[in-house]
Amino acid sequence: MTTENTPQPSGDIRWHEHAITRKDRWGKQNTRGCTLWLTGLSGAGKSTIANAAAHQLFTSGVPVYVLDGDNLRHGLNVDLGFSDEDRAENVRRVGEVAILLADAGFVVFVPIISPFAEGRQTVRQRHESSGLSFAEVFIATSVEECAERDTKGLYAKAAKGELTGLTGVDAPYEAPRSPEMTLLTSQRSVETCAEELLSGMNHLWS
């Protein structure tokens, strides 16, 4: 889905300003909302790292939310499959929800494969046009290591011919060229990766 094909609101629909401003919300909770977009292959460690980092922030009093791509396919995106068009729409929808939560003052962690650079760039531009901070975090785990971990059994199914369209195997993944951060997960603990993520990105919400 290209930017040109993204649905646009009717000219009869007007934007309504909130009685409580973003400045008011952020000032009251003494933190700023933002989105950390964790992209990488299935099994790379995106959700695990996101949840570990979110828990650390939450215990320190920072409002956080994890928008897990798999979880959202049980509700918001239950109607989407895995065609290129549906994957693009999946990313677009998740990006819009992230904007709402970041605007409300949450530090939003989004662990989602999001295989196409164009989709990730569109989400970035939507955040920037909304005056919100966005950081792309590449969880750089090789397909070989992801297949060895195979936490969901997807790579085994693909190897047996029981699954097609697996990103990084027989479906494309466009790795970020200039992410704000690259996390190398090989032989590193989840806690170490989460701490590196938080220490490198804390200027976005502090």
CATH 3.30.420.140 fits 22-200, yes or no: no
Burial class (CB in 10 A: 0-12, 13-18, 19+), 143: middle
Torsion of CA 33, 68, 117, 86, to 10 degrees: -130
Fill in the DSSP letter of residue 178: S
Q: What is the pLDDT of residue 1?
A: 43
What pLDDT, on a 0 to 100 scale, did the predictor assign at position 10? Answer: 67
pLDDT, position 3: 47
130 noted as active-site residue: no
Catalytic pick from 42, 47, 114, 133? 114
pLDDT value for 187: 87
* Sequential pLDDT tens for the chain (206 residues): 444 455 666 678 887 888 899 999 999 989 999 999 999 999 999 999 999 999 999 999 999 999 999 999 999 999 999 999 999 999 999 999 999 999 999 999 999 999 999 999 999 999 999 999 999 999 999 999 999 999 899 999 999 999 999 999 999 999 999 999 999 999 899 999 999 999 999 999 99
Indicate the pTM of the whole model. 0.92
What's the pLDDT score for residue 6? 58
